[in-house]
Amino acid sequence: MKPSSLFLLFLLIVVDVLVAQTSPKPDALRQYRIGRELEAQDRLSEANRYYNEAVRICMSEIDQKIATADSYTVFTWALQRLKNYRDVIVWGERGLALYPNDYRLNEIMGEAYFYLDDYEKALVSMQRFVNAFSAAPRNNDRFSTAYFFIGEIYRMEGKYRRADIAYSVAVRLEPNIALWWYRLGIAREASRDYAPAQEAYQQALRINPSYTEASEAIARIRRRLNSQS
């Protein structure tokens, strides 16, 4: 090979290396977070594109055997937003086989089991998550979500006192979600704790003044309390 050709080849290799170093590494978590922001704006079609891109990046990392615990976590989060619940279970189990102490996988699998109507496994997964929370950051929003789902399971099983406790933890950690206060009111009303139930409904209405179900529940409890006086 001529010296000029060798020099040209050397330059091409250098350029390739520099491009590889300066090109941003695909970031699945960033794609997922953009998807969540878009979903919060009811731009679901756009959000799904970002969730699918997060899935693609994580799958590529797994195929290349460079995946970390974060790869499996973001992978299952994105699959969850895409409502691929069975895939969440499959990949969550694979992730836990490699990272058995990753509490995040337990939580997202609990949500997936919940949406698959397997409440027993959902509860087990959620309880594993909250029991392991001492090792988790205290600002982890999944902790409040886990307690909300635990409350949902107990409510649907008719265990209203337990549901009350779980919902109460959820709203203490995340006090600005009207639905959670409303469900807390339902659990209390079912236990005939009418005054505390009314307080929960009122809080839901403060957060969302157009919450029709909360308004109707307050009126219902007032009629009941008036009939008892």
Evaluate whether residue 14 is within a structural domain.
Answer: no
Which CATH number do you get for residue 61?
1.25.40
82 in Cβ contact with 98 (< 8 Å): no
Evaluate whether residue 223 is within a structural domain.
Answer: yes
Q: How far is CA 61 from CA 23, 123, 174, 178, 226, in A?
A: 17, 30, 33, 38, 63
Q: Which domain holds residue 99?
A: 25-117
Regarding whether 100 and 169 lie in a shared domain, the answer is: no
162 in Cβ contact with 123 (< 8 Å): no
Convert the pLDDT of each residue in 154-183 to its tens digit.
999 999 999 999 999 999 999 999 999 999
The predicted model scores a pTM of: 0.80
Cα three-residue angle 125-63-69, rounded to 5 degrees: 35
Convert the pLDDT of each residue in 35-52 to its tens digit.
999 998 999 999 999 999
Which CATH number do you get for residue 178?
1.25.40.10
Regarding whether 68 and 35 lie in a shared domain, the answer is: yes
**The amino acid at 80:** Q
Q: How many domains does the chain have?
A: 2
Residue 144: which of 105, 91, 107 has the closest Cα?
107
Regarding whether 166 and 99 lie in a shared domain, the answer is: no
Evaluate whether residue 11 is within a structural domain.
Answer: no
